[in-house]
Structure 1
Amino acid sequence: MVTIVDTLSKPDPDAAKSPERPRHPEKAHRPDNPIQRKPKWIRVKAPTSPVYRETIDIVRENKLVTVCEEAGCPNIGECWSKKHASFMILGDTCTRACAFCNVRTGMPGPVDDGEPERIAEAVAAMGLNHVVITSVDRDDLDDGGATHFANVIKAIRKGSPGTTVEVLTPDFLRKEGALEIVVEAKPDVFNHNMETVPSKYLKVRPGARYFHSIRLLQRAKELDASMFTKSGMMVGLGEERNEVLQLMDDLRTADVDFLTIGQYLQPTKKHHAVMSFVTPEDFKAYERIAYAKGFLKVSSSPLTRSSHHAGEDFADLRRAREAKFGKSAG
């Protein structure tokens, strides 16, 4: 029998609090937002594959953190059953308190210098053709963690030279030179998520600045035109349709290649409420518009996430670039 679940997100912290390690102390001042019942098109299958357990074992043995678990991704069952995982470096504690995010907020611990090698070992053990590396925000570090990103990329290149590397970075706000460090390490894809439209930043992403993020993506492409750039946003946070289209235009002005659009799902009642569930038909309409605006690749669906199908999407990106510019492009 196949079990259907709404999401695979983490338990509500109010249901099982830990006095030593509260998950969301920074969100405790917020009023409770009841979690709405999800429509049928968002429900996913519970993981049952033995490969899913193998992936868990590899992650645990190497003492790694994955964004799949920390962010409560609904696609974890599908991805881990295929030995696809997105690694989260620089710890599991973020210096920011975004209203949508299920990652713990607080003062992070010291940088683990052994992490790059352990990630490289896990990538080799899993036989990954494409790997996604992301991180918490580390505003406490002089370079925002950029050097650590570069070290991870270099370790993967050494251990698995045939593996393509995608990074999903923080915004490196007020960290001069940080972006250059990451780009110099030559990731195949540079991703930084806008997350939402500018009118929602104050409530949804208060520690970030919309136009700084746009400029970060634009600057990444200026530094290395051969590198693919990518960004993503959530819908269902109260944005208007015209704001979504404007965000697309801003990303195209920054020469971003790949856009992902997914449904925001509220992790706990202390997080921002879901204002609407966008229909699959509306997601398809956004996809058609985004392609018309010039993106090489668009992934738009209720369960789309930045790293979901990242390897297949990277292959699509390369084919799209070759079709548009010829095989010599990049």
Structure 2
Amino acid sequence: MAVVLDLLNNDRRPAAVRPRHPEKARRPDTPVQRKPDWIRVKAPGSPAYAETSRIVRQHGLVTVCEEAGCPNIGECWEKRHATFMIMGDTCTRACAFCNVRTGLPGPLDADEPQRVAESVAKLGLHHVVVTSVDRDDLKDGGAEHFARTIRAIREASPGTTVEILTPDFLRKDGALEVVVAARPDVFNHNLETVPGKYLTVRPGARYFHSLRLLQRVKELDPTIFTKSGIMVGLGEERNEVVQLMDDLRSADVDFLTIGQYLQPTKKHHEVVRFVPPEEFKGFETTAYARGFLLVSATPLTRSSHHAGEDFSRLRAARLARLAKEPAGV
């Protein structure tokens, strides 16, 4: 990371003309493979898509839909569902799979929580997902900013349920407690990949720290739904994915998402394999057998894809499970 920051400190060009991924400049090129027939998405361009884009621009907000190059942006924005990315568009980490810019972020925008809340109200969202870049430069990793955003949304749209997708708050004592105290409806933190791939895929993170983070959420507030997701196609073995499922259930995680990794550029981690749909169906069956309340496993599954519908299903699954428990349990 020190090399990354030095590169950026020495680059005085405006952000708009700097290389998007200077930290990946020395990585060998890996050709971006042609996607198989089962990975096809609708091109964006409907009037509803344009209206969603207008509201996002009007409020000066960043979305992970755009920054991460999500393949589902056309479908989601047509439904006026945008996933807001707070605390800027520049991340302090350099994960090999991610298309978000890496570097030295600017100061936090104190007005951003209110602008997010206003956008949620204008879009008429019943369920909203808020994520962020990693902010290792901040004392609390951005925890209070998350909490302020949750509270602002609740004030502007009391009927809207709030899902957050957070960084790991590594070495930020007390940060998780601040976020949980704001009581999001869903707390999502993605493991991203199996532990054996962390060194090359997610080098700035720690697998067991992320697991403990999810477990701690349940200890602090058992009513909050917890959620995590991974990508496949990075060279992992099936038995590693199954072990990860067991690890998440040991941490009492409710909801698991599994999607196909898609390589953003030739400087990112290669796609080792395009996993066929029938294997995703197998992952879904195995995950439900492990005890998850909800599982979404398809090639185009992403953390916030169909999040509103999934939240309704998640609540229904919890109620159904509680109804089956013996009295007094």
Normalising by structure 2, we get a TM-score of 0.93
Name the residue aligned to 1:26.
23
The residue number in structure 2 matching 1:7 is: none
Unaligned runs of 5+ in 1: 1-16
The residue number in structure 1 matching 2:82 is 85
Residue 19 of structure 1 and its aligned partner are, at CA, apart by 7.5
Q: Give runs of ≥4 in structure 1 deviating > 3 Å.
A: 17-20
Residue in structure 1 matching 2:99, options 94, 102, 106: 102
Letter in 1 for 2:109: D
Q: How does 1:1-330 map to 2 (within 5 A)?
A: 20-326=17-323
Rounded to whole Å, the distance in 1 between the matches of 2:285 and 2:235 is 21
CA distance in 2, matches of 1:67, 1:19: 18
CA–CA separation in structure 2 for the residues paired with 1:324 and 1:208? 33
RMSD across aligned C-alpha pairs, in angstroms?
1.5
Structure 2: tracts of 5 or more residues without a match: 1-13
Q: Which residue of 2 aligns with 1:10?
A: none
User: Could you tell me which amino acid in structure 1 is paired with residue 168 of structure 2?
Assistant: D
- Amino acid in structure 2 at the alignment position of 1:123: V
Taking the aligned partners of 2:83 and 2:255, their CA distance within structure 1 comes to: 18
Write the distance in 1 (CA, Å) between the matches of 2:208 and 2:117.
34
Instruction: After superposition, give the CA deviation of every residue in 1:202-230 in whole Å (9 maximum; x if it has no partner).
Output: 00000000000000000001100000000
**How far does residue 327 in structure 1 lie from its aligned partner after superposition?**
11
Aligned residues: 313
Which AA in structure 2 matches 1:182?
V
SS at structure 2 position matched to 1:84: coil
Percentage identity across aligned positions? Answer: 76
Q: CA offset at residue 22 of structure 1?
A: 1.8
Letter of the structure 1 residue corresponding to residue 41 of structure 2: V
Offset, 1:20? 3.7
Q: Could you give the per-residue CA deviations for residues 4-25 of structure 1, whole angstroms, max 9, x where no partner exists?
A: xxxxxxxxxxxxx977432000
* Counterpart residue identity of residue 187, structure 1: P
* Equivalent-residue separation in structure 1 for 2:283 and 2:257 (angstroms): 10
Instruction: Report the secondary structure of 1:190's partner residue.
Output: strand
Looking at structure 1, the residues matched to 231 and 148 of structure 2 have their Cα atoms a distance apart, in angstroms, of: 30
Please state whether the residue corresponding to 1:298 is helix, strand or coil. strand
Q: Following TM superposition, by how much is the alpha carbon of 1:45 offset from its aligned partner in structure 2, in angstroms?
A: 1.2
Deviations 1:297-321 (A, max 9, x none): 0000000000000000000000000
Matched AA of 2:299 = P
Displacement after TM superposition at 1:272 (Å): 0.1
Corresponding residue SS for 1:42: coil
Distance in 1 (CA, whole Å) between partners of 2:17 and 2:293 is 47
Which one-letter code corresponds to 1:27 in the other structure? K
Residue range with higher mean Cα deviation, 54-63 or 43-52: 43-52
Q: SS where residue 321 of structure 2 aligns?
A: helix
**1: CA distance between counterparts of 2:177 and 2:185?**
14
Matched with 1:6 is none
TM-score where L is the length of structure 1: 0.93
Q: 2:37, 2:271 → 1: CA distance? A: 16
Q: Distance in 2 between matches of 1:162 and 1:19?
A: 38
Separation in structure 2 between the aligned mates of residue 191 and residue 137 of structure 1, nearest angstrom: 14
Code of the residue aligned with 2:308 in structure 1: it is: G
Secondary structure of 1:40's aligned partner: coil
For 1:132 and 1:291, locate their aligned partners in 2 and report how far apart those are by CA, in whole Å. Answer: 24
